[in-house]
Amino acid sequence: MPLGTDQAARRPGARRVVSTPSSARASHLKNNQTLLFGTRDKINLWMQDHPEDYR
């Protein structure tokens, strides 16, 4: 049974979800696209150099 908003707020560690308009999310992603892709590429390169960790 899902918790109501009052019950969820009383749970320890419960976080309030704040909705962001999709246009703001898209703009934020577009502004950080180079950083995100660079991070992804670094992770992929590291994983290729350490295949024993991912088998």
10 token code pair: 């009383």
pLDDT at residue 15, rounded to an integer: 73
Give residue-wise pLDDT tens across range 7-51. 555 667 777 777 777 888 888 888 999 999 999 999 999 999 988
Residue whose entry in the numeric block shows the structure tokens 């088998």: 55
Which residue type, as a one-letter code, is found at position 23?
A: S
Distance from C-alpha of 36 to C-alpha of 29, rounded to nearest angstrom: 8
12 token code pair: 């320890």
What is the pTM (predicted TM-score) of this model?
0.51
pLDDT at residue 23, rounded to an integer: 86
DSSP H helices, the chain, are 5-10, 22-31, 33-49
pLDDT at residue 19, rounded to an integer: 74
pLDDT at residue 34, rounded to an integer: 94
pLDDT at residue 51, rounded to an integer: 85
